[in-house]
Structure 1
């Protein structure tokens, strides 16, 4: 590899500045750990007070160390740490791991010093991790640039997992817990204050490193959107699962005019969009974080959602079936012919799916083998879970279970299979060697299989489609507040269909437009200073006579002048009354880190009360828009209910994609966009109302 983090994560020579002769001290722990782990590179302790440190020759300063140091550990006080880094840069040190705290996390003065560290990294090209971090390690290389207790938690040989965490303490916690769970990691990086190297850059390194197959990442927030997206894209393209725990809240930067999009973009909506877009699995707890990593390290991903559940307990079968539905897996019944054959094997068995082969398997374990093989042979399942409780641990059935699954694995090496069983590591290990992950809790087994299925889908679909360019006649983004009718002109120019309507300045003109439309109309006040018309009674519905339309014009003008005496009034919009279809809402919000994100959901109670919405970062293509549409809880409404015809999903997806392209191309000009409602018809779709808030007008 030629990645710039190579000298930090696979150094051939290490200097420990602030080295200690006491192995338990911060400056002594890395030396002790590397010596015990058999690190093959050069170790240079730096401390002017010693001639030798832990039986190694010591150096008074970094200037005295032989040239060609790949990585320096900085374990000195904050007041001299910055100068120490400068000295390292002057000596051509390629990277630095900075334990020292007392920077941006502590004070304004510390923040200024941290900016100096960033400057040193940029000027010299030396990669710096930290300050205020617990360090890094690479187990297979015996490289322990850390003062954490994590090396003492090592229980397994190094494997294919790469861990990266902004939090040092949590990173150490995850490593210890994952070792207990049987997760075999190799690389471990904590980024601390991220003066230079951040979580995204480490993910990028893992994506390119052939030794890493699965990435575990933890962060409170991100600063470099382009790097984050690039890193996650690289991991996805390399078919490496990224399991992410994102905690904390971010201000979406869109307190604009109480718009739906802004109010719904809260805490983590933009991060959810990021993760969905790049095929990242978001874990909510440490248990889930580690469980999914454990399952992924076996490297088998289902090609679809059809799951086969085999069980020795009918009750547990029900639990697994419920969990499968919860996690979106398809518990499809076995073919009738196969069910009949299974009944002949075990008359009292449940043979639909789950398959309950009952305790009869204790008397004749080969019946279980026949059940599973017949299911694999005759039914088209993508994955299999077998629940056996303590049967594999019993001295009466232990050897038979191992033999059965060895036979199954030999015949069907590519079937994606998990087991739920109760037993110590020596019972579990033989099945793991057969490439069968093992869990105690049957419902969590299903959750893990659902995660593998998710990654299987992500990897099979490959790169998303590129979004289409905007039409040549697309209008520029407004730089000042505009009224609804102007906002809809913008939308129409980019290919988002809008209602037939006209702006009028008199009752007579209103009547003429009503006559031209030839049916019931909606009338609305048009003013760039009145963004929420319903709050002042500025919308009138179902007007369908000359008298109603003329009086409606006068009513709207009167209400606007009374409610907002100083508002600029452009006139009244007379628009066709759209009937039928499904009300949806779409919009744009500008995140301070990731830029414009597009929101979609169903209208009415779904958005007002249930907040049933989803987001994506702009821009995106029609395929991603379809995935958005399929994510909302009320998705079935678009398929037609109570005899209503299905909605035109292609028209909806096209509009979402075009809105995303427009938002991306005008990211520096637009704060928010609301299109509410956007009515999806059996053929086509139409924007009924629209709001565009330019940058600087969010108050």
Structure 2
């Protein structure tokens, strides 16, 4: 029997539990098997094959030796305290193993064992007990129901995935964090098959303790990880997740994420699979964008973005210049760029004229089509490519040479020309679209060019690099206003009371009065000025227009009296049990743009503000922007300008410009109000808000503050 492997005493102990998990000096395998094909045997076999530098301590009460290593009958019999442990025993025994390891001082454990929260309430209770035991001793758990992890830097393979039978990962800069074990290893397998270098891959399973945010945070600080690819079904702990994303952005480490659960069917599947909350998909988009995370729609896109990100060129304010030998490909690339939102400005006129003088039959606008003539004169690559960068100033350059780039008669000379071009402009992102044999593709990539067969996929990945660059270059946002929020009422208030509460936070409404009689309404209308708007006033009727509870263009005293009686009658017929406080009489605003501002409490990320234009824009087109609360006026203005209908506020077609500053101030203060109000605030609707012409302010014409019931 071989002697017991020892941890290298020159290697310092892991500084924290997460490093003990991913970079342990010693690991115990509870449920160790001598069969390399069994769950308890695969990690040992993999670590032995890949040269794990630390001590491997098999625990099996029935064997003295496992795969050539000394085995121990129990955790208590181990000759040293392992940094980490792999638990591959049934559920009841797993809880015992966690307790014994924690008591001995083990820092972290990977729990392969299934049968916990994913199985129902009884499993969830057992899982909670196991975590409580571990935390009492400062031990962290990955799982349960985890497929494990690997770290190529130290040869640690704490996983039972059969994907390793087809080959081990090549060491490289990409880290993978996945809630799904099987899909996480699917990502690894595809990355390996594409020759992508990986630093580590971690699957979090049930996330009873450690979650995907914790692992992203560790990778954000890991020197060997430069790009983070993540797969998520739902976010359990938003603060830890967002702190990890901020750490990655601060350290200029791109994060590309597949967040699934977009559809109702998908969200249900996510809950049943990992007991996760998927949250609202539009909110997820907004939150990921806030932290510069690129959200991949497909596995192919995730791997494309991660692969290109390893080039570490992230052009802020990205623009795309294209050099092509095919006019048709140029059109396809232009379409893909427009769909992605990647600008392709034309070359300056003087630069176009110079290129025409060089090659009269070229098309020099952008894409720059140098035609098949480039195959006869490869110096055109450096001349035209240099013009794209020098005169066009594009941050990213896509060069389309199709199958010609892979032709043996052309490839060596093309490589020489491309190397010269890149050497002159090392700060630019260069992407090559060619069809070539794998050895030739490797040569192009060794020269510093990312290679894509499909130019549309190249465009999507290039666009992502610009988004990373913008996030890394962005200045810190302005602070949100600090508000003293009044105590919320016990129940959802009436419109008048809601506006009074919001007014204390600096959120203004159109001038109005609450009236208990028709005579009071007539007096209010006279004071406010005709025409007026009249609305039924009741905390139990929030959607007044649905019962005919709103009257517009009320033009004189007689119409006010008639309207008062009509509103009371309609309320009594439609909602006989509703509490009626009277009628609200308000000045009817005109000349502004109708907007909608709102807040709803997302189950994952808390209060989230929304902005959009009123009417068809929000109801049919869903043209809205979201952002987590609270935020400052700079973020609010960016939200306003981001919607497709923003030109209606900015003076399109001769319209007067709306008071964007006042609108942004209102939206920012609304976000601060929502953040300070606490969990009893379920939502706020300001609809419509009139954005008046520039300098004239913004006013809420209707307001609802929705108070959550105690049960919620």
TM bucket normalised to smaller: over 0.9
Equivalent-residue separation in structure 1 for 2:104 and 2:178 (angstroms):
29
Name the structure 1 match of 2:7: none
Give the corresponding residue for 1:260: none
Work out which of the residue numbers 581, 585, 589 in structure 2 matches 1:574: 585
Contact kept in structure 2, 1:625 and 1:653, CA below 8 Å: yes
More deviation, 72-81/590-599: 590-599
Aligned to 1:598: 609
Q: CA deviation at 1:529?
A: 1.3
Hey, what does 2:634 align to over in structure 1?
623
Deviation, 1:154, is 4.6
**Contact kept in structure 2, 1:14 and 1:70, CA below 8 Å:** yes
Residue 103 of structure 1: how far off its partner (Å): 1.3
Matches within 5 A, 1:280-679: 280-470=293-483, 474-679=485-690
Counterpart pick for 1:94 among 63, 85, 107: 107
2:70 aligned with 1:40, yes or no? no
The 8 Å contact of residues 678 and 686 in structure 1, kept in 2 or not, is answered as: yes
Is 1:279 aligned to residue 292 of structure 2?
A: yes
Q: Over residues 437-484 of structure 1, what are the superposed CA-to-partner deviations in whole Å (9 max), with x where a residue is unaligned?
A: 1111111111111111111111110432221112x5x53322212111
- 2:663 is paired with a residue whose SS is helix
Q: How does 1:24-35 map to 2 (within 5 A)?
A: 24-35=37-48
User: Aligned pair in 2 of structure 1 residues 423, 630: CA closer, same or farther (>3 Å)?
Assistant: farther
After superposing the two structures, state which structure 1 stretch, 363-372 or 634-643, moved more: 634-643
**Counterparts of 2:252 and 2:138 in 1: how far apart (Å)?**
30
Q: CA deviation at 1:138?
A: 0.2
Structure 2 counterpart of 1:688: 701
Q: 1:214 aligns with which of 223, 227, 233?
A: 227
Q: For each residue in 1:289-333, what CA deviation from the matched residue of structure 2 results, as whole angstroms up to 9, or x when unmatched?
A: 111111111111112132111111000001111111111121111
C-alpha distance in 2, partners of 1:119/1:60?
A: 25
1:698 to partner: Cα distance: 9.9
Confirm whether residue 142 of structure 1 aligns to residue 169 of structure 2: no
Give distance in 2, aligned partners of 1:414 and 1:128.
Answer: 43
Q: Which residue of 2 aligns with 1:115?
A: 128
- What value does the CA root-mean-square deviation take over the aligned residues? 1.8
Distance (Å, rounded) in 1 between the aligned partners of 2:383 and 2:676: 60
1: CA distance, partners of 2:169 / 2:42: 21
Query: What residue ranges of structure 2 are gaps of 5+ in the alignment?
Result: 1-13, 265-277
* Contact map agreement 1:237 1:462 (CA 8 A) in 2: no
Quick check: 1:215–1:240 contact (8 Å CA) kept in 2? yes
**1:150 to partner: Cα distance:** 3.6
Higher mean alpha-carbon deviation, 117-126 vs 137-146, is at 117-126
- TM-score, normalisation: structure 2: 0.93
**Partner residue, 2:275:** none
Paired with 1:289 and 1:123, the residues of 2 have a C-alpha distance of 38
Deviations 1:480-521 (A, max 9, x none): 121111111222221222101111122222222222222311
Give, in whole Å, the separation in 2 of the partners of 1:117 and 1:600. Answer: 44
Say which SS state the counterpart of residue 187 (structure 2) adopts: helix
User: 2:250 is matched with which residue?
Assistant: 237
Q: Secondary structure at the match of 2:117?
A: coil
Question: In the superposition, relative to structure 1, how do residues 163 and 407 fare at CA in structure 2: closer, same or farther (>3 Å)?
Answer: same
Residue matched to 1:228: 241
- The separation in 2 between residues aligned to 1:491 and 1:595, in whole angstroms, is 20
What SS class does the counterpart of residue 189 from structure 2 fall into? helix
Contact 1:527 1:569 in 2 (8 A): yes
Distance between the aligned counterparts of 2:209 and 2:115, measured in 1?
16
CA distance in 2, matches of 1:335, 1:614: 34
- Counterparts of 1:106 and 1:558, CA distance in 2: 54
Rounded to whole Å, the distance in 2 between the matches of 1:133 and 1:506 is 67
The answer (yes or no) to whether the contact 1:221–1:250 under 8 Å persists in 2 is no
Instruction: Report if the CA contact (8 A) 1:181-1:291 is conserved.
Output: no
Give the TM-score, by structure 1 length.
0.95
* TM superposition shift of 1:152: 4.0
